[in-house]
Structure 1
């Protein structure tokens, strides 16, 4: 149970959801868009999340889309990770998200909920960063399509009253060779230490990482170092590690030094898998 009460709304259209948010906000209700609810329940119980009005967007048809339209795959933000895994329209996404939490939780966690969450990991965003995907947002200014690599900086930079509707990915990235590896300190139990997702396109390896820093990221500088074929792979990885963003996590799951050790070996594994 949550230690606070809230009003619950379930709009049927994008416009209704946006208008409802504005109205509730004007009345000081601290509204929140809601697609899965796992984070609200988890953080609300420890007083890290609070709202007086929940706007559940799961009934809005545009947020439930899973289809290929020409050369693009459209995935709605309220699709659960389990539903995506079962349909497997984007194998790299399926592999990367398949070990988020446990099977029961993945049946409730939505794509948008994971990407927009406050937790460090948010592994579901990694394939979209690699695929140069577009995000469809809606808010008081209407709909807009934005490249995810322009709007995801440590987190999805949503304006007040905006929410994620869909992610759109070019199918050439979906067909590209890929690898996704998750390392945990405690074998198959507990939070991941590091998750790395990578794909190879036009002879270049792209890499995105979760669990190393307090946010998931893709680094063009890291990729440039890794793909510099003029020097040995060990030297490339040394150069890549020198480009990492800060801070490196140092917690009960693993020290910063240990995380860097794990990442070094993961980068070797990724390079070997995509260049064998």
Structure 2
């Protein structure tokens, strides 16, 4: 049971959602948006999240889009992880989401919920970083379409009153060779010790990581090392690991040393999986 009372709103339009947010905020209330509500319920029950009012985005049609529109794949923030996986419109994203939580939970967890998660993993961001995705953001100033990298630094950085409406991906990225690897301590749906998404574009490996640091990331410096053809695979991997942008996590899931060991072996698996496409 959630140990506090809150007001609940489910607007039908973007403008209604934004105006409701600002009206409530002007009344001095703590307001949050949600789409799936999974984390709101979980963290509220253990007193790690509180709100005076919640605005449910699932009533907004634009947040449920899942289709190709011309040369772009458009995915609404309220689309569930299972819907994305089962559509197979972006296989790398779908395979990544199949490894997040259990099947029942994935019916409730949404794209927006995963990308805005309070947990450090946010694995759905990996394929989006690799595919130069754009985000459509709604706010009091209207709707903005921006490169994902402009609003993602360790986490999505949105202004108060803004929310993620859609993700937009160039169709070409959805057909590129890819691999998704997730290494866990116990079951396959546990938090990752290491999670890597990789694809090949223009004969170059792109890779993004979760579970390695306190935030998911894509490092072009690491990619340069992984694609340095004058070095052996092992040498490339060793060099890439020295370029990780932050300290490797040391926690109950795995020690820092073990995580580095798993990471190196996972990168070798990626080379083996993608080798034919690099020839």
Please indicate the TM-score interval, normalised by the length of the shorter structure.
over 0.9
What does residue 30 of structure 1 align with? 30
What does residue 10 of structure 2 align with? 10
1:245 Cα deviation from its structure 2 partner: 1.7
Deviations 1:215-257, CA, capped at 9 Å, x for gaps: 1111111101101112211111111001102132111100111
Alignment: residue pair count: 276
Contact 2:136 2:144 in 1 (8 A): yes
1:61 aligns with 2:61: yes
1:275 Cα deviation from its structure 2 partner: 1.2
C-alpha distance in structure 1 between counterparts of 2:117 and 2:46, whole Å = 16
1:187 Cα deviation from its structure 2 partner: 4.2
Q: Point out 4+ residue stretches in structure 1 off by more than 6 angstroms.
A: none
C-alpha distance in structure 2 between counterparts of 1:27 and 1:76, whole Å = 30
C-alpha distance in structure 2 between counterparts of 1:82 and 1:181, whole Å = 18
What does residue 43 of structure 2 align with? 43
Deviations 1:173-204, CA, capped at 9 Å, x for gaps: 11000000111111436322111110001101
Q: 1:187 to 1:3 in 2, by over 3 A?
A: closer
What does residue 169 of structure 1 align with? 169
What does residue 149 of structure 2 align with? 149
Give TM-score scaled by structure 2 length.
0.97
What does residue 180 of structure 1 align with? 180
Contact 2:178 2:197 in 1 (8 A): yes
What does residue 253 of structure 1 align with? 253
Give TM-score scaled by structure 1 length.
0.98
C-alpha distance in structure 1 between counterparts of 2:7 and 2:65, whole Å = 27
What does residue 122 of structure 1 align with? 122
Tell me the SS of whatever aligns to 1:186. coil
Q: 1:47 to 1:239 in 2, by over 3 A?
A: same
1:101 aligns with 2:91: no
Tell me the SS of whatever aligns to 2:169. strand
1:89 aligns with 2:102: no
1:43 Cα deviation from its structure 2 partner: 1.0
C-alpha distance in structure 1 between counterparts of 2:111 and 2:176, whole Å = 21
Q: 1:189 to 1:94 in 2, by over 3 A?
A: closer
**What 5-or-longer segments of structure 1 have no aligned partner?**
none
| Worse-matched range after superposition: 82-91 or 30-39 | 82-91
C-alpha distance in structure 2 between counterparts of 1:255 and 1:196, whole Å = 18
1:67 Cα deviation from its structure 2 partner: 1.1
C-alpha distance in structure 1 between counterparts of 2:187 and 2:101, whole Å = 14
Contact 2:18 2:140 in 1 (8 A): yes
Tell me the SS of whatever aligns to 1:200. strand
C-alpha distance in structure 2 between counterparts of 1:209 and 1:151, whole Å = 18
C-alpha distance in structure 2 between counterparts of 1:144 and 1:230, whole Å = 43
**What 5-or-longer segments of structure 2 have no aligned partner?**
none
Tell me the SS of whatever aligns to 1:11. coil
What does residue 272 of structure 1 align with? 272
Tell me the SS of whatever aligns to 2:126. helix
| Worse-matched range after superposition: 230-239 or 72-81 | 230-239
Contact 2:101 2:189 in 1 (8 A): no
